[in-house]
Amino acid sequence: MTDGPAAASGTDAARAEQDAIIAALSPVVDGIAATFGSFCEVVVHDFRRPERSVVALAGSVTGRGVGGAMSEIGMKLLAAGDEARDELNYLTRTRDGKLVKSSTMVLRDSGGTAFGALCVNLDVTAVHQVHALVGGLAGVAAAPEAPPTTTFGDDITAVLDAIVDAGRLRRPEPWPQLSREERLELFRDLDRQGVFAVRGAVQQIAARLGISRASAYNYLAAARTAPEAPRGTARPATTAPQMTDD
């Protein structure tokens, strides 16, 4: 067979092109951040290394450094693969209370493969406070919808924990009380958010849920293959698990 070396060569060429794009963007982040000033942060993410995706960074809005992790938003783009789309002009709030306006642009090679992202984060906390003050003085202030809190940091485990916590908030019952379908849906949600693309995620999720790693793998496999129950399906009268004793 001759397609093996050719396929390998194509993969190498794609990786080389992706590396070149990231290398070309690295000095650009400094220029963009300098243009907008100290309230701006520009980040280049490499999706090929999700555990430490930050490969270039200028500014300090989110407190991350090179080698840091992507946020929940980046995880969703990672999970979307080549179907990922740009996320523009969205508001989030950091864990320490900063209001951040962001745009995340997906990086693609010439073959259309999504392999990274260029993110611009603006700290608009002060602008928001002035806007609220002026609106209040004018008597036209409206209570805006609270932006979601996003986890930024250098440790991917904190991001995974935040995603798990959000999922558990939607299902407040302890793990033993969840029905089989609720357990599978929790794993589907985590999978849709790119959690299991991170190395070691299954073990971390298992520890958070208090189940064995083998059980977590079983639930993940079932979540990816079993048909989803219709939305609004009534919770069974008994919630005893049907897969494992965990």
> Which tens digits make up the pLDDT trace of 18-32?
999 999 998 899 999
Select, from the ranges 40-49, 142-151, 236-245, the one with the highest average predicted confidence (pLDDT).
40-49
Q: Are 82 and 110 in contact (CB under 8 A)?
A: no
Q: What CATH number should be reported for the domain holding residue 36? A: 3.30.450.20
- 35 and 90 in a single domain? The answer is yes
Domain assignment of residue 61, yes or no:
yes
- 24 and 118 in a single domain? The answer is yes
pLDDT at 58: 95
CB atoms within 10 A of CB 243: 12
- 14 and 120 in a single domain? The answer is yes
Identify the band that residue 241 occupies on the pLDDT scale cut at 50, 70 and 90.
very low
Find the mean pLDDT for residues 64-77.
89
In this predicted model, what pLDDT tens digit does every residue of 116-128 receive, in sequence order? Answer: 999 999 999 888 7
Q: Which of 91, 110, 138 is the last residue before a domain boundary?
A: 138
Global pTM value = 0.70
- 118 and 44 in a single domain? The answer is yes
Give the domain extent around 167: 156-225
| CA end-to-end span of the chain | 47
Number of folded domains in the chain?
2
d(CA 28, CA 19): 15
Identify the band that residue 142 occupies on the pLDDT scale cut at 50, 70 and 90.
low
- 10 and 132 in a single domain? The answer is yes
In the predicted structure, residue 138 carries a pLDDT above the cut 80: no
In the predicted structure, residue 209 carries a pLDDT above the cut 70: yes
Tokens of 217: 């793998």
The more confident residue out of 217 and 7 is 217
- 132 and 160 in a single domain? The answer is no
Tokens of 143: 């209570």
